[in-house]
Amino acid sequence: GVENLPKNYALLDLHLNDSEILRKDTTELLDDAGGTCPVCLDNFAHKPPLVLRCGHTLCSECVFRIALQSDDDAIMCPECRRQTDLDGSLKLNVALQDTLRDIVEVKRGRGMALRRWRVLRLLILAAFAFR
C-alpha cells in the first residue's frame, strides 16, 4: 500500500493554496513547490528532477556532476548524506514534474490544470496522512 512507498520530500513540503497560485508569479510558485534543485538552485522546468533513494530530489545535471566525482557506483545525497546506488535506483520524480507543469499551466490560465491541481493536492495530503 501507500505506507510502503518511499517518501517524496519535494511533495511532502508542498503547501500552496489556490489564492497563492493566483497571486504569485510562476518562478516564486516553482520555488515554493520545491521546484528548485537544492544544489544548483535552478528550477526543474528545464532539468528533469530525479528522486534519490532517501526521497530528496536533485536535478539530473547535479546528479551527473556528483556521480562523476564519486569513486564508486553510488552517490551521497547532499541533504542527508544517505547513499543512493547508481544501478537504476534513480527515478524521474514524475509526481513533482507533473505538479510543476500544472502550476505553469494554471498561471497560463488553463482551468483544467487548476482542477487537476486541487485533486492532486488532496491526494498528496491523503497519502501522507496514512503514514
Q: Whole-model pTM above 0.95? A: no
Residue-wise pLDDT tens digits, 95-123: 888 877 777 777 676 666 667 777 777 77
Report how far residue 74's alpha carbon sits from residue 86's, in angstroms, rounded to the nearest whole number.
5
Specify the CATH number for the domain of residue 92.
3.30.40.10
Residue-wise pLDDT tens digits, 47-76: 899 999 998 999 999 999 999 998 888 999
The number of domains in the chain is: 1
The number of beta carbons lying within 10 Å of the beta carbon of residue 29 is: 21
pLDDT over 90, % of the chain: 27
Q: Which residues face 29 on adjacent strands? A: none
Residue 72: per-residue pLDDT: 84
Q: Which residues of 70-96 are buried (b: 16+ CB within 10 A; e: fewer)?
A: eeeeebebeeeeeebeeeeebeebebb
Residues of the domain holding 73 = 2-129
Confidence of residue 89 (pLDDT cuts 50, 70, 90): confident
